[in-house]
Structure 1
Amino acid sequence: MDIVQAGDRTGILLVNTGTPAEPRPRAVRKYLARFLMDPRIAPMNRLGWWFVLHLFILPKRGRASAEKYGKIWTEEGSPFTVAHDKLARGLDAQLADEGHDAVVRCAMSYSAPFVDDVVRELKDAGCTRLVVLPLYPQSAHSTTGSVSDSVERALKKARWDAPCDFVDNYHDDPTYVRAIAASIKHAGFDPDADDKVLFSFHSIPLVDIEAGDTYELQTGASSLQIAGELGIERNRWTIGYQCRFDKGREWLSPFTRDVLARWAEADVGRVFFVCPNFAVDCLETLYDIEHELKPYYFDQVRKAGREPREDDFAYVPCLDKSRAHVKVLADVLRPHVEGGR
């Protein structure tokens, strides 16, 4: 970590995955092509994957995903973009109130504003050092690793030889743990009742874990600490993994759908569904949970011979653009902004 000198201006770069420019098939295909051609995402050699992706996957998935995006789009645009803009402004104001000379910007790995452009903007704003925070509390080769790749390329392209701190993860940060636990309680969770918590994380290919990815260890540690903050025993919570991309590879499990089916059969009581590794609500939370996973759980309850009640399943929103999220990111970043002073 670099010691901050008087007169230094710190550029803070928050990076997430991205979103299509509009909820139309062409825009969605363009976004997905960038995303799925990332070498850290592609499941086979680049040339072969390009043909499979563009000839078979994107035509179908572009239309299907566009319909889904259309259901979550707002008058302001993509809820993902809106939330990041407000989050960056809130964090910028928070650090300014603390007396830090910092410029906060958001960038996306696969959509505008692109990392290249925002790195150049921070350089032109007079920043003398850079702190990069991927908005993935639990790091993985396919997420945080991809951000590291893009930042390295962007710095070379901008010919900016600035000191750079890269925050790999914040899965066990105390402020983050408390914020997630508080969001679960705010959603109505009762630690003294029979309510259950399902921590659902994005899955990753097992080959990444075999290559040394510590993502699974981090998801387990986060869940354990959040449950501890809630004061609940191990039989009150479990972990599931969602969002498998393909069936040609083995993916980290147990899968969230399988957990929901098992809990529906066992009649476990109210289920509180939380996604601790999604910093901001996106398609996988705003659409998939409300329109796919919740109906699936209710169908499984009916198959078990019971009629579900609406409050049997409660989704706990991401920290998103909340004050609590600003506080989490400020606490994570503060040592890097202050340079350890």
Structure 2
Amino acid sequence: MPLFDKEPEHRHDQVARTGVLLINLGTPDAATTSAVRRYLKQFLSDPRVVEIPRLVWQIILRLFVLTTRPGKSAAKYALIWNRDGSPLLVWSQKQARLLKGYLGERYAQRGQEGPVIALGMRYGNPSIAKAMDELRTAGCERILVLPLYPQYAASTTASAYDAVFKQMARYRNPPELRLVKSYHAYPGYIAALAARVRQSWNEQGRSEHLVLSFHGLPRYTLDKGDPYYCHCQKTARLLARELQLEESEYTVAFQSRFGRTRWLEPYTSVVLTQLAKGGVKSVDVFCPGFVADCLETLEEIAMEGKQTFLAAGGKTLNHIPCLNDNPTWIAALADFSSLQLTAWTDGTLNSETPLEAAKIANLRAQKMGAKQ
């Protein structure tokens, strides 16, 4: 096997371009036991996801987890699978297409070609490697790596970086990279979250209490310095302020526990039970950390969460959909991407011809000389 992949054919008249690599977690290829087993094997073999000595965990994973969990998870995926496939993949692909349209229109107004947009999944398909190859084939010499995880976690954002760097090691002539670490407090993102909640309240009515449910992580990640918990709390505070909520009107919780270890608290299932037993009859549940609806929102919250709440005495649970293709969110994503690209190129876009770039560099030199 060659050490490096073959480079795309170089053309001297080809203008260097900039790409945006959107990354999401991933999904099985189908709602079947075999497809889910392949997905879980890749996902749960990531040392960023399960921080247990590798040999010990591989024994547990292969002998126990992969023999029992795939069938149960496949049944859950089947409940949310639609005609087009996995909701997470469908929404992520649509976000990529809409972002391409938004940025393309903005750049066209300036007489420039917009960045190339590609979507890669950390686990499953389309892979990060495939997406990066697409960008290189399109002539991208700079790639903005934009994980669709607003809050940073080593198990998500850093793991996505690992996959990007692994692919970079295969290139003889790798592109420049700019990495987005988080945007948990970015005003456009907060405004988009608030717009999504208000839309639900306008359409469905407002419940007595709002639960902001984030994906959970083992408690030790916080003790070891992972800022994820703090990022979630800040997102929740900013969103509550945007919605003009008092502290008593909302609760931050964490879902998706796995295994017996202690996870970030309070747990969403426990919060829903306590609210119902405390006399709250209706709740809205919103998942700010997920930018696209997926198994964790459509099945775990909208189905399991509802059953938990009703069983404890509640009357109605309204799952507020994720950002998905909400126009406010896509506009915010475009604004954030433009901000990152502009800062990276110092006010120029990586679509100038060499002559244009030389003229700009000459003008800058003249300005610097005049200042001196």
Report whether the alignment pairs 1:326 with 2:334: no
1:223-274 C-alpha deviation (Å, 9 max, x unpaired): 0010111011111111000001211x22111101111111111223531100
CA distance in 1, matches of 2:231, 2:84: 34
CA gap of 1:163–1:41, structure 2 versus 1, over 3 A, is same
Q: 1:281 is matched by which residue type in structure 2? A: D
Q: How does 1:242-253 map to 2 (within 5 A)?
A: 242-247=255-260, 249-253=261-265
Q: Report the TM-score, using the length of structure 1 for normalisation.
A: 0.91
Partner residue of 2:116?
103
Partner residue of 1:82?
90
Partner residue of 2:187?
174
Q: How does 1:148-187 map to 2 (within 5 A)?
A: 148-187=161-200
Q: 1:324 is matched by which residue type in structure 2? A: T
1:284-308 C-alpha deviation (Å, 9 max, x unpaired): 111111221111101101xxxxxx4
Q: 2:288 is matched by which residue type in structure 1? A: P
User: Percent identity over the alignment?
Assistant: 36
Q: How does 1:1-341 map to 2 (within 5 A)?
A: 8-99=16-107, 101-188=114-201, 195-247=208-260, 249-301=261-313, 308-309=314-315, 312-338=316-342, 339=344, 340-341=346-347
Q: Tell me the CA shift for residue 195 of structure 1.
A: 2.7
Q: Report the TM-score, using the length of structure 2 for normalisation.
A: 0.84
CA distance in 1, matches of 2:329, 2:243: 18
CA distance in 1, matches of 2:238, 2:132: 34
Partner residue of 1:305?
none
CA gap of 1:261–1:160, structure 2 versus 1, over 3 A, is farther
Residues 119 and 158 of structure 1 are in contact (CA less than 8 Å); yes or no, is this contact kept in structure 2? no
Q: 1:116 is matched by which residue type in structure 2? A: A
Q: Which moved more, 1:319-328 or 1:164-173?
A: 319-328
SS of match in other structure, 2:240:
helix
Q: Tell me the CA shift for residue 47 of structure 1.
A: 1.9
Q: 1:197 is matched by which residue type in structure 2? A: L
Q: Which segments of 5 or more consecutive residues in structure 1 lack a partner in the other structure?
A: 1-6, 302-307
Residues 203 and 242 of structure 1 are in contact (CA less than 8 Å); yes or no, is this contact kept in structure 2? yes
Q: Which moved more, 1:180-189 or 1:19-28?
A: 180-189
How many equivalent residue pairs? 325
SS of match in other structure, 1:231:
coil
Partner residue of 2:361?
none
SS of match in other structure, 2:284:
strand
Q: Which segments of 5 or more consecutive residues in structure 2 lack a partner in the other structure?
A: 1-14, 108-112, 348-372
1:191-234 C-alpha deviation (Å, 9 max, x unpaired): x9773211100111122112211111111110001011101111
1:26-68 C-alpha deviation (Å, 9 max, x unpaired): 0000000000000111242212211211111112110001111
Residues 87 and 322 of structure 1 are in contact (CA less than 8 Å); yes or no, is this contact kept in structure 2? no
Residues 189 and 272 of structure 1 are in contact (CA less than 8 Å); yes or no, is this contact kept in structure 2? no
Q: Tell me the CA shift for residue 321 of structure 1.
A: 2.5
Q: 1:198 is matched by which residue type in structure 2? A: V
Q: Tell me the CA shift for residue 161 of structure 1.
A: 2.7
Q: 2:249 is matched by which residue type in structure 1? A: R
Q: 2:276 is matched by which residue type in structure 1? A: A
Q: 2:127 is matched by which residue type in structure 1? A: F
Q: 1:118 is matched by which residue type in structure 2? A: A
CA distance in 2, matches of 1:328, 1:321: 11
CA gap of 1:34–1:125, structure 2 versus 1, over 3 A, is same
Q: Which has the larger radius of gyration?
A: 2
SS of match in other structure, 2:254:
strand
Q: Runs of 4 or more off by more than 3 Å in structure 1?
A: none
CA distance in 1, matches of 2:258, 2:173: 36
Q: Tell me the CA shift for residue 324 of structure 1.
A: 2.4
